[in-house]
Amino acid sequence: MITVQYAKAFPNMRINAVEPGFTKTDLNGNNGLQTVEQGAEIIVRMARVGVDGPTGGYFDAEGTLPW
């Protein structure tokens, strides 16, 4: 809920949380289901959201996730 609180406190910024998914990295012995590039896609997409984009939400590659 810190994401929601920051979004309310800074309404001129777009503040969201993302779930990149189970990604192949050294941290999990490369046992993830997707590449680093695939996992990074949602992070990059949300970092580039415009001033009219969502704020205070939780997202993965498929869209909005419930809190």
Q: Which has the closest alpha carbon to 11: 51, 42, 47, 58?
A: 51
| Amino acid sitting at position 15 | I
Q: Which has the closest alpha carbon to 16: 30, 28, 6, 29?
A: 6
For the chain, give every domain's residue range. Answer: 2-64
Predicted confidence (pLDDT) per residue in 1-59, tens digit: 999 999 999 999 999 999 999 999 999 999 999 999 999 999 999 999 999 999 999 99
Please give the model's pTM, rounded to 2 decimal places.
0.85
Could you tell me where the DSSP H helices lie in 1-64? 2-9, 36-47
